[in-house]
Chains A and B, each alone.
Chain A
Amino acid sequence: MDILIDILLALLSVYLAFRCMLAPKLSKAVFVFFAFGLTLALAWIRLGAVDVAIAEAAIASGFMGVLLLDSLRDFSLTFSKNHNVIEVKPNNSVEVKNRSELFPKIGLGIGLLLFLLISLEAVWNIPEGGGLTALAGSKISESGVEHPVTAVLLNYRAYDTWLEIGVILMGLLAIFAAGGIKQYRKAGITPSQDPILRQAILIFIPVLFLFGAFLLYFGKMGPGGAFQAAVMWGAIGILLHLGGWPVFTEIPRRLRLLMLTAGLGFFLFLGLIFMTTGGALFEYPPAYAGLLILMIETFGAVSIAAALTAIFAFLTK
């Protein structure tokens, strides 16, 4: 039974990937992309990585989908102004192309197929071994948490996680850089003022907040943690913006920046504090490790949520 589900998932994800790539319309591609992301999330669950599945479903499918839908709207707005551009190319254009364009494509196709086969063989040859799972498990009592993934992310390899939280902030800065200097211009068109939508958003927000907080705290003993919680909290910011409350752009600049940098900054601050007392960077005393990790995760989640909201607010202005 299990193997049937696995095969179905594998076929479905490849099929959806092709559909997404070959979709004649952008809107269709975006919707297939949603489905593709959810299939991947299911595949992660089948592989036993629930943490990754939550992140995949929330970020790769949810957040990316929202951004894609938004840019789709921008495209249609741009193209409807000069309506000649929107024409979809006829599907039979493949046959019209001459042979000189076909050969490189065939070559590329064969090359990619070879690459796939070789990589499959390389993956096949990997010996069965747990990696560092056993070692990570044996030291778990000193790490302050009960879930090995959280222990790896926030204690054993805290340095990597710290840098990754930084990467999100850097990505945000890079998006701002690409958008020029016109940061946070006040929105020209206010989004829908539909009272039902606004009411529904107000109902959802506490639920999302609680669920995010639960994921954050649950990360101590099971799948969950800062990144997953951050997506829930980021969704609050995005929903508020959609409902016509652009809270993130309204709050004072200092507070906004503080929210964005709190995760990275607090993580570094704690690390440096224990370094000045003679330890190494990110070395926590085992007795307090659990509490400190929870604090770091909370600040991290706030920062990531703020970054996701900021990306949305910046791109949809």
Chain B
Amino acid sequence: MINFPTSSFPALLVALPIFLAILSLIFRINRRAIIGLWGSFLIGILALVSFIEVIQKGTVIHILGGWEPPLGILLRMDPLSAVFIGLTATIGVFISLYTWWYFRAREASKGRFPLFWPLWFFLWAGLNGLFLSNDLFNLYVTIEIITICAVGLAVLSGEKNALKSGLRYLLAAIAGSMAYLFGVALIYGSTGTLDLEHLSEVLKPGKTTNFALIIITLGLMIKKAAFPFHFWLPPAHSAALAPVSALLSALVVKGAFYMMLRLWTEVFEVSLTFAAGQLIGIAGAAAVLWGSWQALLQTNFKLLVAHSSVAQMGYLLMMFPLLIIAPGISSDSANWLSPAWTAGIFQVISHAFAKSSLFLSAGIIIMALGHDRIESLRDLVAWMPMTAMAIGIAGVSLIGLPPSGGFMAKWMLLKGVFLSGQWWWAPAILLGSLLTAGYVFMLLRLAFAPSREINHFRSVPKSLQICALILALGSFLIVIPAENLIQFLEGSESFGSGIQSIVKGGRYGNE
């Protein structure tokens, strides 16, 4: 592990956002937004440079304090974390741009939310830290940072609704954290190490390990609003300010997913059984159906988008049953592993783009109408063509029509499902897409329908609409470098596990 080249970029990726957060706190409100905007660009550039570094050198590490694990903590940036950090930076820069214009447009009537920028930078640091972490306890610290900042951002508007749902979000997230921490304590107690790579070597199957796996998975499922624990997500995400909703839906829930992916593929291989994967898959399928159905019933745009998040996160869970090979099948013949994880990665990326675009469009519509009831979207195409286009494009990606990133994700998932013979997931995937098409076309039908009133939309700065449109287009543009991205991830040399081991069949299905 120490053989990997050392680089200072991983440390900087955490240090820079925190530095910017402190800086933005010290300055007054007018300067804060400027620091926010330019700081976001700076982090974006840093993420780009680090990404290039990983392309050139492969996995890089940073041994914090010079203490090697298991005593110290090591940051590692392998292609998978580089992709997540790059995604966060891309979405983050556009959301920062949008926020800059958004607060300026609102300035006259309402407050400018002085705490947005410091909390957003802390959140960014937490996300980067999570993606770089290679230590069970450090993962806990980073996800705590993410939770606290996310709750703080969610209640930023100070409205009664936001506070109520924010409190529920906080309680659910803390329950998740406690469950995770309990699992970490069990693992540390039984192995004496927290470093993920050491753990994957020394962890033995047994009751304690199994229980730790269950409780850690449970905690993470609460954190990412997987099916029976999704209750907190729609109110919290829909009551927040528009840029915050975009951040929460596009990036924050992905943090818990990334943790689960890492832990399942790199640490807990010994305890995973076929049934465990199926159980996660069922939760995913239920989320897809329930979330899409609920989205179809909503009359408010933001609630619709938030319920759709529950459904789209469900697709991510459906990749887990495919990653575990059923007993009796040799890993060499498991040719569905590659489509399965490609589906997962593309679902993460395309959902992040599409959902942030939809929430930003929701913010534009609220700004134009004063509310977000769906029936008022009539004649949107005539008055705000760019926003209508953004909603349409992002919606198409959510449905999974070609040639969007969402299509890539759902197609690969179906391919994986049929190659593996686990055909029973296919109806859920198809039905989910059908329901998604239902609510997206419901929105579009209204947008094209003529209005009874003459222009009831107030004017909204063009720059806001451009941000939302670019993000929507992003969910299509990501399929262009798809081939390179897959090669980049598959060819990566990570810690003897991760995607490389998934593709080779790993150590799964030994039981």
Which A residues lie at the B interface, using CB under 8 A? 118-119, 121-123, 125-127, 129-132, 135-136, 139, 155-160, 163-164, 166-167, 169-171, 173-174, 176-181, 254, 257-258, 260-261, 264-265, 268, 271-272, 275, 279-284
Given contacts A167-B141, A281-B11, 4 further A-B contacts (CB under 8 A): A122-B186, A132-B71, A158-B64, A282-B64
Query: Which of chain A's residues have a CB closer than 8 A to the CB of B70?
Result: 132, 135
Q: Say which residue of A130, A170, A272, A284 sits within 8 Å of B148 (CB atoms).
A: A170
The majority secondary structure among interface residues of chain A is helix
B66 near A261 (CB under 8 angstroms)? no
Which residues from B are CB-within-8-Å of A170?
A: 119, 122, 145, 148-149, 152
Q: Given A131-B189, A258-B26, are A119 and B156 also a contact pair (CB < 8 Å)?
A: no
Task: List residues of chain B with CB within 8 A of the CB of A119.
Answer: 182, 211, 215
Distance (Å) between the CB of A300 and the closest chain B CB? 14
Contact A174 B8 (CB under 8 A): no
CB of B487, distance to nearest CB on chain A (Å): 31
Mask, B148-180, CB within 8 Å of A = 1, is 110111011010000100100000000000000
Interface of B is mostly: helix
Is B145 touching A163 in the complex (CB atoms < 8 A)?
yes
- Would you give 27 A-B contacts (Cβ < 8 Å), ordered by A? A123-B189, A125-B190, A129-B192, A131-B188, A131-B193, A132-B71, A132-B193, A155-B65, A156-B72, A157-B73, A159-B64, A163-B129, A164-B141, A167-B145, A170-B122, A170-B145, A170-B149, A174-B155, A176-B115, A177-B152, A177-B158, A257-B25, A264-B18, A265-B22, A281-B11, A283-B65, A284-B65
Whether B207 and A121, one on each chain, are in contact in the complex, defined by CB atoms closer than 8 angstroms, is yes
Check: B138 CB closer than 8 A to any chain A CB. Answer: yes
Cα–Cα distance between A121 and B211 once the two chains are bound (Å): 9
Number of B positions contacting A (CB below 8 A): 57
Pick the residue among A125, A166, A280 that contacts B62 (CB under 8 A).
Answer: A280
With A158-B65, A163-B142 as contacts: A173 and B182 at CB distance below 8 Å: no
Docked CA distance A202–B193 (Å): 48
Q: Which of A132, A178, A181, A280 contacts B65 (CB 8 A)?
A: A280
A114–B507 Cα distance when bound, in Å, is 32
A167 touches B148 (CB 8 A): yes
B488 at the interface (CB under 8 A from A): no
Taking CB as reference atom, which chain B residue is nearest A143? Answer: B67
| CB pair A123 B186 closer than 8 Å | yes
Q: Which residues of A contact B72 (CB under 8 A)?
A: 156-157
Q: Assuming A135-B71, A280-B11, A283-B65, is B22 touching A122 (CB within 8 A)?
A: no
